[in-house]
Amino acid sequence: MGRAEGGEESAAAALASQILSRADRDVTFMVHLVGESQNLLVRHFVVFIETELAKRGINYGAHPLLRPFIETHARELTDFVLQGIGLRHQFGLQALETMAGDPSRLLRVDLWDSLQCHINDAQQHFVSGVGGLQRILRQIESGV
């Protein structure tokens, strides 16, 4: 190993030490839902959007581009929930090291509350904007 390589390694070690010395305030762990949980959210929002649109007389037969619209919006609502959960559930290194009692149970209850809140917020956001979709579809139908 040459001198330059040794210098690079010691610089990397020094930088790693500097970063780790700030770990209590700068290192966080975030909750990230993956796999089947993401799919459950997407499927929930697809059904939710279909139901909300059907209440307003909007269905697949009348609008051939509705399926991609619904799937896109379901994924956007899912991303909203996932981002909110991740941002809401950040844990510093020190907090994880000092948790006492049954942290997994506390985390599950807190996570459940956050999931429910974010899912409701996403649904309300969609419903509040669905009138705009109705106007767009009417314009398309009338050829304006």
Q: What is the pLDDT of residue 14?
A: 86
Q: What is the pLDDT of residue 70?
A: 92
- Highest mean pLDDT of the ranges 35-44, 51-60, 134-143: 35-44
70-87 pLDDT, tens digit per residue, is 999 999 999 999 988 877
User: Residue 64 in 3-state DSSP?
Assistant: coil
Beta strand 28-30 with 90-92 is: antiparallel
For 69-91, b/e burial (b = at least 16 CB within 10 A) is bbeebbeebbebbbebbeebbeb
Model confidence at 3: pLDDT above 50 = no
Q: What is the pLDDT of residue 48?
A: 95
**43 or 105: which carries more pLDDT confidence?**
43
As a whole number of angstroms, the distance between CA 14 and CA 22 comes to 13
117-138 pLDDT, tens digit per residue, is 889 888 888 888 888 777 777 7
What mean pLDDT do residues 89-93 have? 69
Q: How confident is the model at residue 49 (pLDDT cuts 50, 70, 90)?
A: very high
Dihedral sign for Cα 36, 38, 39, 41, please.
positive
Comparing 19-23, 75-79, 84-88, 99-103, the range with the smallest average pLDDT is 99-103
